[in-house]
A and B are shown apart, each in its own frame.
Chain A
């Protein structure tokens, strides 16, 4: 089962760049002077790499948030990171800075993280549910502000904002890839460095504390790293929901091992899931791409409910 899944995933990753509105074949792709070569290396390949990295970051970010907040529904999106990015994108569009959208989105995501941390530092003691509630309050505040932006924008701007909220993997060239690779490596490296602490956090906060761990510092470092990585990812692609929520749950119910042993599989399959969703989104209709956020939810929700039903049979 696991080996089949790996073979299938690698197969998907290999064939993904070849399919889309223009089907490509290997021979023409290898011909450096052809249009197909250009499509493959400038559009399709960067897109697949982008999807893989963003999927991996979102899935792993979801897992870390679920561990830290002790809540199976929490993801970086729950804390308002994505809403912050969306709001700042809307501001950029309304103010006419359309070329700086990624920068604005990143500032939006990171300022949310900074607000969150400055508020939690004022809390008398570490309390993950307060942090979660503050995140939810921020999300509502951002939604209201986004409504205001919609109200203030013209038809064209409204459409652009709407399009960003649906998520998109459209990129040209490898320009944005290095920074995403950096974020993904940073995230994996931090989790690898804090491997012992993460294992202890999987038992209970008290138990981790009694083994000498500085629980507050550890959870803040983990949350901050995830937020930076997700903030960067969202700034390039818009908010792509559901990956961070379902991939950790799906892998746990398939592998049936503790989460510390699922770090790399969750990153890998998160990436594969987004590549597969994008592949379907690009090929279901012949004339247009279906927004990636729509595909991830259409694919993920039924499978997720099926798995829940299977593991909680009456």
Chain B
């Protein structure tokens, strides 16, 4: 029953969020600020993780492929498929849920407990629209670019790992990543990313916006936000895969 109440409240929140911005120039300014805070500032960690994850997938696949009848180019193929279909969109989104989700939840939560949100409301500003809509737009616009970069860097990481360890030949790897390439997989990954970006922006915003109490509660809300965002991403990943690939 409690969960149903939260779900209802979440959708009521979204109704307030998706209103026309009260001033477009202010919205634009906020949007660019959020792109920087939620997107550009995540570039480093996403690049770092995806590069090494790609490397590890390539090495592990190479070490497990010891049957001489299995061609080595399958290492490149497996790395590409893993990165595009799952690791870049889902794994990176879970990472972003932790990094960005806790930031969104704690920043909005702090604004709530220090009455900054009340101050916005008293001024006649739709605080949900002002605070949350730019975050949603920023993540939905920027995360597909970020995840595309993660796909590229992951596959490149696999190539570098192969070159450094001599576990497979570069030519085999390059042949493997081009083998049986289906552009729809990119489309599938980007659709998932856009959905996850929406989740990453809204669930932590919900937890932060409705926090009551002080700094301790803001911390708790932040943890809850990360947990629930990750859970929803994993569940949606299952349903989206079923819908888009099955």
The answer to whether A and B belong to the same complex is: no
Hey, which bits of chain B sit against chain A, CB under 8 A? none
A contact residues vs B (CB 8 Å cutoff): none
